[in-house]
Structure 1
Amino acid sequence: MSRSHLAAAHVDAPGDEGYQRIAAALHDHGWSEQDDFLPPDLTRALASECAALEAAGALMQARVSQGTDRSLRPELRGDRIKWLEAGQSLACDRYLAILETLRVVLNRELFLGLDNYETHFAFYPPGASYRPHRDRFRHDDSRSVSIVVYLNANWLPDHGGALRLHPQGRVTHDILPVGGRLAVFLSADMLHEVLPATRGRSSLTGWFRVRS
């Protein structure tokens, strides 16, 4: 789907004021958290798609970066992923249209020069985690803003699975993976980790990129 088609698609969340709150928090703190970023029906549709991919064995074990190589290190990173492509489903295209609007607002408010967006479904089985890391690779500095949107219904604090942010010079901040919740942070600056959970945990994880 082209950028013009994304702009013309039905965008149903969260309103310009909501996008501006995200931009303001990203500017002031380096991260933002917003509940109900996605409409409930879209969250359910994306969660069902992720679950169907997992059941079909279509999610592949994620790799970690080591220099210019990408290797399987399940002791460091335990999620299984599948990259999104425009046109693969109506739900995915609705989601990509919403993120295209966010990209435009962040560029307008913060002059970040964000050029494109890449994203994948991510599923963490019970007990899986991702050790502390940053999202920008040593050999590729194109990832600028990290985006996580959670797809988990009826998530409780006792289930665990928080995204733990480590802002420089501040106390850590935990974001529980509640369905429809958005987490945004600066890719190069924010050390973060995914804590283990007692149940499976799904999300859409992606990055706004600048031209390399």
Structure 2
Amino acid sequence: MPALTLTDNHPDDGDHPVLFENISRDLLLKGYSINPYALPLGLAEELWQHLQQMPNTAFANAGIGRQQAYSRNGFVRSNLIAWIQDDCPAEQHWLQWATGLQSYLNRRLFLGLFSFESHFAHYATGDFYKRHLDAFKGQANRVISLIVYLNRDWNPSDGGELMLYQPAADQDPLRVTPTFGTVVAFLSEDFPHEVLPARRDRYSIAGWYRLNSSHPERVDPPS
């Protein structure tokens, strides 16, 4: 992935400069950013309402890998996902917000982020996702992982925490409670993470900012 460098200029991104700037600086200094209750409330409410209206058939068993390497492995993860398109206002507004963050990160950190993909994730009671990386060193695909939580009145006793493992072996993992509107971002290649089993239905959005890895045999992003 490209080296992170902070520019001196602060791009003007309307209502979100404080959050976007916090994420930029955190990524530069720590490699991760955890922002409780930070997603704009109107957008969080709209996404939550959209989730309530989505039929169960919109969700499918999650897998691991991409394209030819894709497989389903119930030992690694047991949640359901629904890929986000732009065919309804809630999803359009989410993608607009995520694109705004992408533009800010590109201008502030010189990242060259090319595309964004995301899905809703539903963890039913007992569901989990064991420790994994979103990208592997040198593959130049996913650069920044982005997670937003959409769970009302979530208590620590409800489980389902994100465990974010830091690169240094002597550092304790970070434990993130999936409370409503919390925004998490981290370097995809550097932070293994897992989702602990939930004790009630747990909803989130997981997304990834990617570089352009096109070559003569394949156009990015893959379909």
TM-score of the aligned structures, taking structure 2 as reference length: 0.83
Query: Could you say what secondary structure the match of 2:70 adopts?
Result: strand
Residue 113 of structure 2 aligns with which residue?
114
Counterpart CA distance in 2 for 1:149 and 1:81 is: 14
Is residue 23–residue 106 contact of structure 1 (8 Å, CA) maintained in 2?
A: yes
Is residue 68–residue 139 contact of structure 1 (8 Å, CA) maintained in 2?
A: no
- Establish whether residue 42 from structure 1 lines up as the match of residue 46 from structure 2: no
One-letter code aligned to 2:71: S
User: CA deviation digits over 1:7-61, x for unaligned, max 9?
Assistant: xxxx875x212211111001111100112332323222212322333x4321000
Runs of 4+ in 1 over 6 A off after TM superposition: none
Counterpart CA distance in 2 for 1:118 and 1:66 is: 13
- Normalized per residue, which structure has more strand? 1
- CA 40–12 in structure 1, closer or farther in 2 if over 3 Å, else same: farther
Q: CA RMSD of the aligned region, Å?
A: 2.0
| Gapped regions of structure 2 (runs ≥ 5) | 1-12, 214-223
- Establish whether residue 79 from structure 1 lines up as the match of residue 79 from structure 2: yes
TM-score of the aligned structures, taking structure 1 as reference length: 0.87
Residue 208 of structure 2 aligns with which residue?
207
In the TM superposition, what is the alpha-carbon distance from 1:65 to its structure 2 partner? 2.5
One-letter code aligned to 2:57: G
Percent sequence identity is 33
One-letter code aligned to 1:100: T
User: CA deviation digits over 1:136-183, x for unaligned, max 9?
Assistant: 158953111000001111111110111100011121001111111001
Counterpart CA distance in 1 for 2:186 and 2:56 is: 32
Query: Could you say what secondary structure the match of 2:48 adopts?
Result: helix
| Gapped regions of structure 1 (runs ≥ 5) | 1-10
Counterpart CA distance in 1 for 2:117 and 2:136 is: 15
- Establish whether residue 17 from structure 1 lines up as the match of residue 57 from structure 2: no
Is residue 12–residue 39 contact of structure 1 (8 Å, CA) maintained in 2?
A: no
One-letter code aligned to 1:125: A
- CA 56–129 in structure 1, closer or farther in 2 if over 3 Å, else same: closer
Residue 192 of structure 2 aligns with which residue?
191
Is residue 37–residue 179 contact of structure 2 (8 Å, CA) maintained in 1?
A: no
Which of the pair has more CA radius of gyration? Answer: 2
User: CA deviation digits over 1:91-143, x for unaligned, max 9?
Assistant: 11111111111111111121111011100111011110000000015895311
One-letter code aligned to 1:142: N
Residue 8 of structure 1 aligns with which residue?
none
Counterpart CA distance in 1 for 2:40 and 2:14 is: 7
Is residue 33–residue 186 contact of structure 2 (8 Å, CA) maintained in 1?
A: yes
Residue 154 of structure 1 aligns with which residue?
153
Number of matched pairs? 199
